[in-house]
Structure 1
Amino acid sequence: MKHGHVVANGVDISYVEEGDGPLALLLHGFPESGESTYRHLIPALAEAGYRAVAPNIRGFAPSALPADGSMRLADLVADANGLHERLGGDGNAVIIGHDWGAATTWGAAHTEPERWSRVVVSDVPPLAFFGEYASTYEGIERLNHFWFFQTAMADEVLAANDMAWVRQVMQDKWTAADYDATEDFEAVKKALGEPARLHAAINLYRMNFAPQEMGTPEWTARHAELWGEVPAQPTLYLHGTEDKSVVMDAEDLAAVGASLSPGSEAAFIQGAGHLVPAEKPVEYNERVLRFLGKELSSTS
């Protein structure tokens, strides 16, 4: 894999890439890195004829900290669409996202649809479903890090003892019981090992889910405008059956699939927790490549 960087939306964004062809932009979540999350998908996409590019989102080393400190989702969306432009993407580009990268992907594909021909999302469903889940008893309990991260002590707790809290929650809650998250955690330490970077990452939650504004009409309208509409493009949604953060059953998944545009699919990845692209790479890659292959055959 080659390493590069480019200024997009005013922020110097670092990335890894492999392959030549239409752009495939791969967006990671918290607290990971692009290279780690998509270490299995990048070479598979390259072999399939794509230029697979996995950036580290703003603030996550070695990408720059934003000068204005903003970690708002609107800026992440603008970063993604800016990367499309700066990397020479065209209308055949595809966008792929997990976790925070999923929310960013929903927003980028909706706000500037001409940039992206196909959309792949895992682990965070569309806002209509995620927002409803997050306000239920189960959602509040299982997404309790959203609320813990609002506290001043979160920075200290996450940094203490070589980021032991992060290591434990990744292994015990955010991945399936039989998955070894060691490699993923080592990537976390590289991306967020500096206090300023860890603070920026926590600010994803403080700035987008601030307790004084979350749930207000203004907050709801802002998020609805950004990622409240499902993309018009064909979309593949994948979800781990062992996800203990965002829990979905067959009825939930069917409802998500029914909400997506024509040509879309929704499927479970059996045995995966919340980190689907890394936990079950064979199944995940097969689903993604088969879905993208439909695009290639339909335009040939």
Structure 2
Amino acid sequence: MPGEWRVREVRFGAEGVTLAGLLGVPGGEAVAGVVLDGGSGPSDRDNDGSFRPIRRYLLEAGVAVLSYDKRGVGRSSGRWCAATMDDLASDALAALGFLRAQPEVPDEAAGLFGHSEGGWVALRAAARGAPSWVVTNSCPGVTPAEQERYARTTAARASGSRHERDVDSVVAFYDRLVEAGRRGAGFAEATRIVAEAGHPALAAFWSDVDADGWEFLKRKQDHDPLPDALRLRCPHLAIFGGADELVPVAASVRLFGEAACDADRDHRASLTVQVFAGADHRVRRDGVLAPGYLPTLAKWIHAPG
């Protein structure tokens, strides 16, 4: 009956890997379907729990939801740290194909939702494939290197550095780290740069990075999302938290807006931007999703563009 929904464990193949996740379908035929792609690192089907309230709300709104463990995480095979952005985009497209194959899901109303790094993945997938729409959630419009530079600057200021020269020093060491990555430096050299900086803002960034993680960072650090945004052939909803300390929100809105205004962009592509004042990187205020976030997301998925 309407309003009832169910969730089941699923597995599906992608390029060289088998991905595992959760498929939720509403009671009766779904009005739309969405694939949820998590953020950076070893993100699972729940994206550290942040996808659970989104999944529940969308299911109750009649939207089928598929989320999955990133390759090498949970019950998925492979290694995420050995992947490229194209590999991750192929995984997202495989998930979209699996979702569209479900009898309850209308093929013409299935799209991609990507959080943070997952937004870059969703944009790359959308530029290569044909989702009905794409939602990016706290996805920077700048490269990973530029985004992390902004985050280290914000973290240095928040750590109690009393002088701007202290912040400048952290940023200078971060820039050295980026340049080391560009010339292929090894993990030991990168670790020495972070240790030499001797600042918690850089140490916090490095705390979860191992040798494999450093190789992944080197591969992705200059990924530019704007060419993918220019190649979109579908509506794009870009969501941000106005108090996001990890993403340069104003710059990202401007850059996605410039891409949307490009005269050569496909006429089917549109851009809607929603910034939730006072919300953080996961679009939360006081630990819960910002007021209006879930209704805004569901309403747009029901009628994108």
RMSD: 4.0
- The answer (yes or no) to whether the contact 1:26–1:53 under 8 Å persists in 2 is yes
Q: Mark the runs of 5 or more structure 2 residues left unpaired by the alignment.
A: 1-6, 102-106, 155-170, 192-199, 261-267
Report how many residues are paired: 245
CA deviation string 1:204-241 (max 9, x = no partner) = 313323xxxx5xxxx87xx776x352522111101111
State the TM-score, normalized to the length of structure 2. 0.65
1:75 lines up with 2:87 in the alignment: yes
| Structure 2 CA distance for partners of 1:34 and 1:155, relative to 1, 3 Å | farther
Residue in 2 that maps onto 1:289: 298
Unpaired runs of 5+ residues, structure 1, are 157-164, 171-191
Q: Supply the distance in 1 between the matched residues of 2:175 and 2:96 (Cα, whole angstroms).
A: 31
Give the helix-richer structure, 1 or 2: 1
- In the other structure, the counterpart of 1:187 is none
Tell me the equivalent position of 2:54.
41
Shift of the 74–136 alpha-carbon distance from structure 1 to 2, 3 Å rule, reads closer
Aligned residue in 2 for 1:245 = 246
**Which of 116, 133, 136 is the equivalent residue of 1:118?**
133
SS of the equivalent of 2:88 reads: helix
Give the Cα–Cα distance (whole angstroms) in 1 for the partners of residues 148 and 59 of structure 2: 41
Partner residue in 2 for 1:234: 235
Residue 122 of structure 2: which of 105, 109, 112 is its match? 105
* C-alpha deviation, 1:12, in angstroms: 1.3
> 1:100-150 CA distances to partner (integer Å, 9 max, x unpaired)?
21000111111112xx11111011234xxx139818974674595994896
Q: Which moved more, 1:230-239 or 1:16-25?
A: 16-25
2 CA distance for matches of 1:4 and 1:64? 14
**Which of 64, 67, 78 is equivalent to 1:54?**
67
| Aligned partner letter, 1:97 | G
Cα drift, residue 254 of structure 1: 5.1
Letter in 1 for 2:45: G
- Give 1:86's aligned amino acid: F
The one-letter amino acid of 1:273's match is: D
Q: Which AA in structure 1 matches 2:36?
A: L
Amino acid at match of 2:111: V
Q: Is the 8 A contact 2:243 2:279 kept in 1?
A: yes
C-alpha contact (below 8 Å) 1:254/1:266 kept by paired residues: no
Give the TM-score of the pair, scaled to structure 1. 0.66
Q: Secondary structure at the match of 2:82?
A: coil
Task: Please state if 1:29 is matched with 2:39.
Answer: yes
2:98 to 86, 90, 98: 86
Partner of 1:8: 14
What is the CA distance between 1:97 and its match in structure 2? 0.4
Q: 3-state SS of the aligned residue for 1:97?
A: strand
In the aligned structure 1, how far is the partner of 2:51 from the partner of 2:113?
Answer: 10
Note if contact 2:147-2:246 (Cα within 8 Å) is conserved in structure 1.
no
Residues 48 and 117 of structure 1, relative CA distance in 2, 3 Å threshold: same
